[in-house]
Amino acid sequence: MLLAGLLDRMIRVGTLGVIDAAGERRTFVGPEPGPKVTIRLHDRAIEWRLLLDGELALGEAWMDQRLTLEEGTLYDLLELVMTNLARADRRGWAGVVQRGLNALRTAWDRNPIWRAKRNIAHHYDLSGELYELFLDSEREYTCAYFPRPDADIEEAQRAKERHIAAKLLLEPGMKVLDMGCGWGALGRYLARTFGVDVTGVTLSKEQVAYANERAAREGLADRCRFLYQDYREAQGRYDRIVSVGMLEHVGRAHYGELFAKIRELLTPDGVVLIHSMGHMAGPGYPNPWIRKYIFPGGYIPALSEVLPALERSGLWLTDCEILRLHYAETLRCWREKFERNRARIREIYDDRFCRMWEFYLIASELSFRVGDLMIFHLQIAKDRRAVPLLRDYMVDRERELLAAERAPRLRAAE
């Protein structure tokens, strides 16, 4: 069996059974307990591909059913793989080959506006109904904030809105730019709750249409507009800039441009909040399967890759929060809803699409649970005096916002 040597060294946790195309069965048992999974490999070529370029091949083999499960679930399989990879010494030849391939794939990585448009359309212009079928009612497609571990996705996404708003120190009438506004949920929340004037930009035409239509329906059209624009094309002056889940699409060659643009758009006493995924263990190549099938052009940075550009920009970093595990819980909620609606999603697309998305959602969840991914919040300002000297206001404002939301409900219940 081709993979035997590699798996013998790699499996330190859990048990992996493998049945190869010739019907040979081998079991690899790690010294520590963990998931127990048996896979069947349906042809010999897939064994070679798993050996040389496993990060791409595993997801493709799963989508194409050239790898199937005899025992355990996809979650178990990915947990087994990722837990063992997180501990593996990847200096062996297989790790070197994989890193070499990944390096080639990202060596000339640039996101000029035309390519950024294509990349974003690839993912976010999928059927709106798909997003309805696994996201919350406001279609927030970024990490939620779980005030309690057992909060549901609606509660956690509303808590995220308050958590971000508290860091933005909003006052009525302020001009707010939402860079990478998605379907406009955060913008509508800010306009509705704080009486601010929101401009959102995104490169998904589906998102622009949905966001504007919904703002009109909710009577917010005078205070909210959503534009089909690259962040580099944004114009005007803004008191506040917020960007949730866009930095992952910016690309590592463009952080200097991003901060220069923010500096240009921001008022002298302005405040910025950037919310992004990050690698805790330092710069890492993007997963090639995710890049090919889910997020073309995406790059998840380490803080050490973003900070040099921020420092050079002359802006102040005024706070940095690291959110751990919140995205694992968010992705779990999305996956559970996806599974509940799988039959309908299969009707819109097909079974292979469902397998692809299940792989994506589970692999992402595990990247936050056992891998080194986290969410960072960079609060940024031009002037070191633009935000209060103590961070207490963040917690206090967030609690006030929650109390204010509950108050009308309490009054109504009386």
Q: Which is nearer to a second copy, 141 or 145 (CB)?
A: 145
| Rounded least distance, CB 276 to a second copy, Å | 14
Question: Looking at beta carbons only, is 95 or 283 nearer to a second copy?
Answer: 283
In the complex with a second copy, the residue whose CB is nearer, 120 or 378, is 378
CA 414 – CA 156 distance, rounded (Å):
26
Rounded to a whole number of angstroms, the minimum distance from the CB of residue 81 to a second copy is: 20
Residue 374 lies near a second copy (rule: CB under 8 A): yes
Shortest Cβ distance from residue 402 to a second copy (Å)? 12
- Closest separation in Å from C-beta 281 to a second copy: 6
- Residue 385 binding a second copy, by CB under 8 A: yes
Instruction: Report the chain's terminal Cα–Cα distance, integer Å.
Output: 70
- Distance separating alpha carbons of residues 345 and 87, to the nearest angstrom: 36
Closest CA to 169 of 397, 399, 322: 397
What's the min distance (Å) between Cβ of 82 and a second copy? 14
Q: Is 307 in the site for a second copy (CB under 8 A)?
A: yes
Q: How far is the CB of 189 from a second copy (least distance, A)?
A: 20
Select 237 or 384, whichever has its Cβ closest to a second copy: 384
Q: Which is nearer to a second copy, 112 or 256 (CB)?
A: 256
- Considering only residues 280 to 299 of the shown chain, the ones binding a second copy according to CB under 8 A are 280-283
Residue from the set 5, 92, 219, 308 that interacts with a second copy by CB under 8 A: 308
- Residue 188 to residue 220: CA distance in whole angstroms: 7
Task: Kindly state the smallest distance separating residue 35's Cβ from a second copy, in Å.
Answer: 19
- Of 18, 121, 101, the closest CA to residue 61 belongs to 18
What are the angstrom distances between the C-alpha of 29 and each of 41, 121, 150, 370, 405?
Answer: 18, 43, 33, 19, 52
Side-chain-side CA neighbours of residue 73 (13 Å) = 7
Does residue 384 belong to the site contacting a second copy (CB under 8 A)?
A: yes
Say whether residue 302 binds a second copy (CB under 8 A).
Answer: yes
Among 25, 312, 346, 352, binds a second copy (CB under 8 A): 312
Pick the closer one to a second copy by CB: 140 or 398. 398
User: What is the per-residue binding string for a second copy in 332-371, x denoting contact by CB under 8 A?
Assistant: ----------------------------------------
Which whole-number Å values give the CA distances from 317 to 123, 306, 312, 314, in the listed order? 31, 11, 11, 10
Whose Cβ is closer to a second copy: residue 354's or residue 387's? Answer: 387
Task: Tell me how far apart the alpha carbons of residues 102 and 263 are, in angstroms, rounded to a whole number.
Answer: 33
The strand pair at 25-29 and 13-19 is best described as antiparallel
> In sequence order, what are the residues at sequence separation of 6 or more whose Cβ sits closer than 8 angstroms to the Cβ of residue 233?
113, 201
The single residue among 320, 332, 337, 402 that binds a second copy, judged by CB under 8 A, is 320
For residue 210, the SS3 value is helix
Residue 196 near residue 170, CB atoms below 8 Å: yes
413 binds a second copy (CB under 8 A): no
Which among 13, 6, 23 has a CA at the least distance from the CA of 57? 6
Long-range contacts formed by 40-43: CB under 8 A, 24+ apart:
40/67, 40/68, 40/69, 40/70, 41/66, 41/67, 42/66, 42/67, 42/68
Question: Half-sphere exposure (CA, 13 Å, Cβ side) for 264?
Answer: 12
The verdict on 389 binding a second copy (CB under 8 A) reads: yes
Q: Is 294 or 323 the residue whose CB approaches a second copy more closely?
A: 323
- Using CB under 8 A as the binding rule, whether residue 151 contacts a second copy is answered as no
Which stretch, 141-149, 176-184, 211-219, 338-346, contacts a second copy (CB under 8 A)? Answer: 141-149
Query: Judged by CB under 8 A, does residue 112 bind a second copy?
Result: no
Sign of CA dihedral 330, 331, 337, 340: negative
Q: Which is nearer to a second copy, 128 or 284 (CB)?
A: 284
**Which residues lie near a second copy (CB under 8 A)?**
146-147, 149, 279-283, 302-304, 307-308, 311-312, 314, 316-326, 374, 384-385, 389-392, 394-396
